[in-house]
Structure 1
Amino acid sequence: MKKAGIVGGLGPESTVDYYPTFIAKYQDKLNSKQVLPELFINSINMYNVFACISENRLNDLIEYVGDAVQKLEAIGADFIVISANTSHIVFEEVRQQTKVPMISIVEATYEKATEQGLKKVGLLGTKFTMEHDFFKKPFLDNGKEIVVPSEQDQLFIHEKIVEELENGIVNPETKQSFLAIIRTMMEEEHIDSLILGCTELPMILEEGDVDVALLNTTEIHIDKMLQQVFLSE
């Protein structure tokens, strides 16, 4: 069986979600609770990632995340994921530093949007994910529209992600504010779906909260991990 490697800690809450969800989906696939996938987790510091991006030290970020990936490869991971969206700003550069496959959360989400025939997609995440092009590029390059909130709303969402969700805090008032931002995007931009482009966002937003499809990047990414595991079966 292929062993998964997860670069975690980006943040801890989503890393916690990856672990049991990956196990549950693996057991469902084999229809047995008496089996467990083998995996490695290398938990690094999300605040180092934020600092590198804020200070435009992307070479330092490539080195930091690349080192985490190489350690997973060295101990026997057969494929590797980074359990966060923001860190994918340097995904391509990091992927070049390892010989084992890496599964991109951005590529996986784009593929899911294509499967569902989505055309105009909203994107929520950290300010780095919303203001940079790394998540938007595959959508724009292939004729899809991708929409982010206003700059003021981006800053608000980022603050709540970092101060609350990354620390395991789910505030009902924050949820209502997020829903108001999403409704504005629906009314003004006519989005047909919404990417939860931060792996902590499913803590506070779920299917049924709004009248558009939600693309849960955490779940999409884990489903791709399962596909990779069973390529060897």
Structure 2
Amino acid sequence: MTDSRSDPVALRFRDLDAFGHVYHAEYLTLLDELRTAWFGSVLGLDHPQSYVVVRVEIDYVSSLTGDDGSVHGEFAVEAAGTTSLTLRESLRAGDGREVARSRVVVVLRDPRTGSSRSLSDRERASCVRYAERRGHAMKRIGLLGGMSWESSAHYYRLVNELVRDRLGGLHSAECLMFSVDFAEVEAMQESGRWDDAARLLTAAARVLEGGGADFVVLCTNTMHKVADAISAGVSVPLLHLGDTTAEAVLATGVRRVGLLGTGFTMEQSFYKDRLAGHGLDVVVPEADDRALVHRVIYDELCRGVVSERSRVAYQAVIGRLVEEGVEGVVLGCTEIELLIGPEHSPVPVFPTTRLHAEAAVRLALG
């Protein structure tokens, strides 16, 4: 759960009885104080009369004394109504020990009129982020896809298959997907409007964050050119494809790799430099081979066309990279693994879509 913990509050002399224990009634006061502060940080309800408690149930778990020093709260949204919120709360001592748990219903209030009011769209989106998670502690994956939808569908299948394989039974990934119109993005690529593309994808990432994604997976190699801008525009982590790929390559002992991808990925520095930053020596094909690889991606693979003729042509490109001494080949476009598998190369291939999906599931499941 994202930021479910409040800042700590120091225990005060007035909270204690003659034996140094916190009065049971004070547990409610402490929870109220912690809840109000948490509401301020999460929903912006920083006015002391922004809500009223209409129902509270509390279970006392263990004693709390002045020696504990401080307390903090952990909060989750169980339900969001039109004007009300139902919360699950945990009061914890400074050492993290749970001392009480409660269930509380609050009604939002307009401090100016004293009347109840409805949750705003922004508040409701925030509530989704802090929704109570039951069962296993799976983080919610935010898939930012559509570039192209062919590979995004592969991402979706992979993360669900991998979660099923890890957890068994009918388990599947807890995930969201925002799929953009690739024609719009491709036009921005061709015209060099990378700032516009960054704004478009950042807005999409914010929708995923508002929907409760604990981290964002950008389902494309090429658009990692604007990954830093997207990451700066959201408060949840972005799982960088270049990092997950480099880590997988290094784990095999390979150091010199060929890179296949779009012309942007092969010719510009943003991806090669990310791999090189991990200690990899990156080799790209010659100009004619780069043009062929790029054309097949956009004219065929992004349109769902998988051609044996193009597979043979890619194998020839890989062969020429091997002649230059590469020890492995990074399939640096999420569509390429629809065409090329391990059986099509004399050296190991590193399928970035699968590697990215595997890293996302590891992060989601811990």
Corresponding residue to 2:168 among 31, 35, 54:
31
The residue number in structure 1 matching 2:114 is none
Residues 1-233 of structure 1 aligned to structure 2 (within 5 Å) = 1-32=138-169, 34-187=170-323, 189-231=324-366
Query: Match for 1:228: what amino acid?
Result: L
Q: Distance in 2 between matches of 1:136 and 1:23?
A: 30
| Contact 2:246 2:278 survives alignment (8 Å) | no
Query: Match for 1:92: what amino acid?
Result: D
Rg (Cα) greater in structure? 2
| Contact 1:22 1:222 survives alignment (8 Å) | yes
Question: Alpha-carbon deviation of 1:141?
Answer: 3.1
Structure 1 residues 58 and 173, CA gap change in structure 2 (3 angstroms):
same
Question: Alpha-carbon deviation of 1:3?
Answer: 1.1
Instruction: Please give the secondary structure, in 1, of the residue aligned with 2:204.
Output: helix
Query: Match for 1:101: what amino acid?
Result: P
Q: Structure 1 or 2: larger helix share?
A: 1
Question: Alpha-carbon deviation of 1:142?
Answer: 4.1
Question: Alpha-carbon deviation of 1:212?
Answer: 0.5
Question: Alpha-carbon deviation of 1:170?
Answer: 0.5
Question: Alpha-carbon deviation of 1:166?
Answer: 0.5
TM score, norm. by length of structure 1? 0.95
Question: Alpha-carbon deviation of 1:179?
Answer: 0.6
Q: Structure 1 or 2: larger strand share?
A: 2
Instruction: Please give the secondary structure, in 1, of the residue aligned with 2:314.
Output: helix
| Contact 1:70 1:97 survives alignment (8 Å) | yes
Aligned residues: 229
Instruction: Please give the secondary structure, in 1, of the residue aligned with 2:321.
Output: helix
| Contact 2:243 2:275 survives alignment (8 Å) | no
What does the per-residue CA deviation read over 1:39-75, in whole Å, with 9 as the maximum and x for residues that have no partner? 1110002232232232222211110110110111111
Query: Match for 1:227: what amino acid?
Result: R
Question: Alpha-carbon deviation of 1:185?
Answer: 1.1
Q: Distance in 1 between matches of 2:340 and 2:277?
A: 28
Q: Distance in 2 between matches of 1:100 and 1:140?
A: 26
Question: Alpha-carbon deviation of 1:182?
Answer: 0.8
Structure 1 residues 141 and 38, CA gap change in structure 2 (3 angstroms):
closer
Instruction: Please give the secondary structure, in 2, of the residue aligned with 1:37.
Output: coil
| Contact 1:166 1:200 survives alignment (8 Å) | yes
Give the stretch that moved more between structures: 139-148 or 2-11: 139-148
Instruction: Please give the secondary structure, in 2, of the residue aligned with 1:61.
Output: helix
Q: Distance in 2 between matches of 1:153 and 1:209?
A: 17
| Contact 1:49 1:87 survives alignment (8 Å) | no
Q: Distance in 2 between matches of 1:69 and 1:46?
A: 15
| Contact 1:121 1:195 survives alignment (8 Å) | yes
Give the stretch that moved more between structures: 217-226 or 34-43: 34-43
Among the aligned pairs, what percent are the same residue?
31
Instruction: Please give the secondary structure, in 1, of the residue aligned with 2:270.
Output: coil
Q: Distance in 2 between matches of 1:97 and 1:159?
A: 32
- Name the structure, 1 or 2, with higher relative contact order (CA <8 Å, separation 6+): 1
Instruction: Please give the secondary structure, in 1, of the residue aligned with 2:342.
Output: coil
Moved >4 Å (runs of 4+): none
| Contact 1:165 1:200 survives alignment (8 Å) | yes
Q: Distance in 2 between matches of 1:143 and 1:10?
A: 28
Structure 1 residues 206 and 53, CA gap change in structure 2 (3 angstroms):
same
RMSD of Structure 2 on Structure 1 (CA): 1.2
